[in-house]
Amino acid sequence: MEDIFNRVKDILNDKYKGMVLDKNVAYELGITSTSLATHKNRNSLPFTALTEFCLKHKININWLFYNIGTKELDYAKENM
Checking 7-11 for CB contacts under 8 A at 24+ apart, the result is: 7/63, 7/64, 7/67, 7/71, 8/50, 8/53, 8/64, 10/71, 11/57, 11/59, 11/71
Tell me the domains of the chain and their CATH numbers.
2-78 (1.10.260.40)
Between helix 22-29 and helix 47-57 the angle, nearest 10°, is: 80
pLDDT digits (tens, 9 = 90+) for 2-50: 999 999 999 999 999 989 999 999 999 999 999 999 999 999 999 999 9
Task: Tell me the pTM.
Answer: 0.86
Please state, for a pLDDT cut of 90, what percent of the chain lies above it. 85
